[in-house]
Chain A
């Protein structure tokens, strides 16, 4: 096995190597720490590398494996966390000068669950400032670079998580998704990202952007790896007031059932408007693949889908409510753009926020009605490939329309899977959304597509 093969091994592969004693957690952890030291000065995926903690975790996993305790599929798996997940004794910055030296006293519930599953913590991954801003030149924390083209952004806000996975620095990572922050970076970096159902994975200990839109979830190099991470993360958490008591399904076992007979709905209005020709072509080819796999693909309509962008009013109003004190008292500690985005939320009227939530109710009801007729929805994850840094640093770039917020508005699970490459060599992605708490079917469709294609196997030249 080459060092690259080792770095890009999937969670399932690593576990198999451990069980055959072909690899040890300490050996893999040392290899990844060396790789981080070599590559991260260029990529800027990490804010904090926790080498000592990683080696201690790896030794503990190695001892457990030596005693035959390999029940957890995450035992000895190297992971890292978007830097808005609180980590006990390890600084958690949220990519912000305001929290640059904050050291939490407790772990976020998700961090606790992955630790208890035996994972190895490699460190904390850069996020856009408070998961909402953009790192402009001169920002305290440098932005992560897209490994497919260093002049392009890797997406956000879980940018470090996607870059670390795409470059073989970690085996799995966690992100958060308020309007696409797991799926967007996954799409731009050619990895897999899952936004689970609202309430499926705990938000406790994760810094808030928007209470009613925030989701936490896994990012990985394959759909199966996402399923394995979700299995450890999912379940009721009394520390999160919106955590659901819905029973947790088995996410890995059904993956190999195939998708013959499944109904795939394609909501063309909104989701196919304004997409690049290359994106549309890759999407149609992905639909053809799903048909070849036995799925019935039909167009569907979500009547009020065009109101989805009321999402932005909800996000801005809730973000202002969260940040109001700090942004009024310490505006200088907020980066350019984030400061104005947050303050703009304070200009939204109470009645406008309520109207946005009413539109959301209607959209939600329509989404559930459509998902009663089909098993999943398929759309392009993003209308275009990753933009350049120069483009997003232009003040006129704004907050462009996106295909991901409709699923934050409705809380249903949505997965991003690699599905192509642009003429510039940038990744393209397929989005699959499903019924509330039916992550198993969403993952099943993603896995079937992934097995039928090679896109997820592409690696950037770094």
Chain B
């Protein structure tokens, strides 16, 4: 299956098709997670008709994998109309939800409409920790109840565990909870800056020592020796590689119709309220710029020994100020895995060391 999936992605890449689209149907949410990168006010979401029209366009464009997310998708009263339309267009649908509002009726509908996977964020197995992160009392209990309803209908559920300072010690508990519920488990230590570029929430991210510990847990990473192995030698093939699927075979659409290369890459590339999706996909100057970038075009990263194995996110780099620059969070991950500092870290440390050598004071009159 993995091989066929890779073949499908390769085929989509060759044909220039957007095989995966992430569509946020709303930014409104019943939770107020401390690390969330969204503004939850509604500035004029697309209507049901507009979203259904976008779904028609996405189907015509060749999109196969559709992620419906938010905000909380069930904050939209028309969510099941949207979902029904999506499934009538034969998308392979993943829903991201906090499952708080899933009752028997919602679970039945999700099952009957043939949703592939439901992803639910669970931050801790302890209510006092999870609910403090979501700022919604009773949320862990309700989310677990929602997951049980989905699982009782044999729906596939993935529990996504975002790691941060507040819940660092709870991932084993969440993993055990996932096992008990018959859900898959994923863990992610990435905290994303807010969509407007505001970066204060990054302090919630776990630091180097904790990251190192996580990356050396075989329950999470499998073979630690392989996972933490030094980076492979850099050759011409590595330098010709694409950074990731963003803008190549995947993109993101906001509730307001804005098209970005990825949910984590807020480079405005067009708006489906003003242009047809395919016109944006094929002709957006921004998407074409993203597509033109190869590893060898990255001034710092192309000189880095990690370039062939780094998880560098061009979106996080963009939010640091330069889509061709390094993504510091990924530099830290590469360092935590291998103990080898990235070119970016070395340059920053050198700059810091040199900055104390000369003191320049302004002339006072």
**Chain A partners chain B:** no
